[in-house]
Amino acid sequence: MHKVLVTRAVFEPVVERLRQHFEVDYHAVDAPLTPDELVKKLAGKAGALTMPTDRIDAPLLAACPQLRVVCNSAVGYNNFDLDACSRAGVMATNTPGVLDDTTADIAWSLILASARRIVAADKWLRAGHWEGWKFKDWLGTDVHHATLGILGMGRIGQAIARRAAGFSMRVIYHNRRRLAEASERECNATWLTKNELLRNADFLVLMLPYTPESHHAIGAAELALMKPTAHLFNVARGGIVDDAALIEALQARRIAGAGLDVFEAEPELDPRFFTLDNVVLTPHIGSASSATRMKMALLAADNLIAALSGDKPPNLLNAFID
């Protein structure tokens, strides 16, 4: 029977499903293993159900030559060195599809919270400052009939776009590859160049995968192209935005607001974020509903079972491995 590692606390039904097929080493703590601990735990293991905090790279793979598959419980996989995995003959998988709608929901939560200043108003109210209704208090920005821009129009970007119909919004987007005409019609979306997108969006949502090419895709130059009334949202990955440049733009009110679920050095944040009243901050909770996290972990388990049963995993990332 193959031995596998579950690197972090998940739901018991997921562990029980794996135990029907494997000898499972379950690290039942909701905290990441250090790199050294991960290597030690992977000794003798054929596979692992991993989390985005687990770095799978060439040194680890060299220390774990028996490893055959690593299955991320996430759609993002920038914690995997895919080239190193392929060279080592290790399959790598992720969990696309099952978290699209939940992540789209969090994007809209941030849009509405930022536009209508919900977090700052809540904090002000709880502090006991409210003495009565005033006509010009807490004026925000209308979402309805505004222009929604999406940079990165994959499955999640399209789910975000479809929700905009309920707000009668104009939807514009930029993607390296333009969507098929039928998909554009379904999303009621118009393709623009990146600079055109930045200049026209009232609410700009980033849904890019994190790669060396997308590092600081939004920096000082890009922020300077945006409207002073615009709001920026990142629910993809930290590092896509130059956090320091964004803070400076928010401090100077060169853009009106922002909503961020991910950060460059998370869980560490630039402390200047905490001094701003025009940014909404959440701790990387884009997929954090009970139902969705269960689906993600079960899909990761299914990938692991398929790979070690001699089948092709349903979500193989380095597909040139047989």
Catalytic residue, chosen from 55, 170, 196, 266, is 266
Catalytic residue among 170, 216, 272, 284: 284
* Domains 3-98+290-308 and 100-281 belong to one CATH topology: yes
Which CATH superfamily includes the segment(s) 100-281? NAD(P)-binding Rossmann-like Domain (3.40.50.720)
Task: For residue 184, report the phi and psi dihedrals to the nearest 5 degrees.
Answer: -60, -40
pLDDT of residue 320: 62
Q: How confident is the model at residue 9, as a pLDDT?
A: 97
Residue 12 annotated in active site: no
N- to C-terminal Cα separation, the chain: 22
Is 266 annotated as catalytic?
yes
Q: What digits encode the pLDDT tens for the residues 226-282?
A: 999 999 999 999 999 999 999 999 999 999 999 999 999 999 999 999 999 999 999
Strand order in 170-174's β-sheet?
189-191, 170-174, 147-151, 203-206, 231-234, 257-260, 279-281
pLDDT reported for residue 321: 54
Ranges under pLDDT 70 in the chain: 320-322
Task: Choose, from 163, 237, 264, 293, the residue flagged as catalytic.
Answer: 237
Q: Check residue 77 and give its pLDDT.
A: 94
pLDDT of residue 322: 53
Question: Quick check: is 129 catalytic?
Answer: no
Domain boundaries, the chain: 3-98+290-308, 100-281
Q: Which residues contact 185 (CB under 8 A, 6 or more apart)?
A: none
Q: Compute φ and ψ for 111, nearest 5 degrees.
A: -55, -50
CB 92 within 8 A of CB 100: no
> pLDDT digit string (tens) for 191-235?
999 999 999 999 999 999 999 999 999 999 999 999 999 999 999
Q: Give residue 93's pLDDT.
A: 98
Give the fold, CATH level 3, of 3-98+290-308: Rossmann fold (3.40.50)
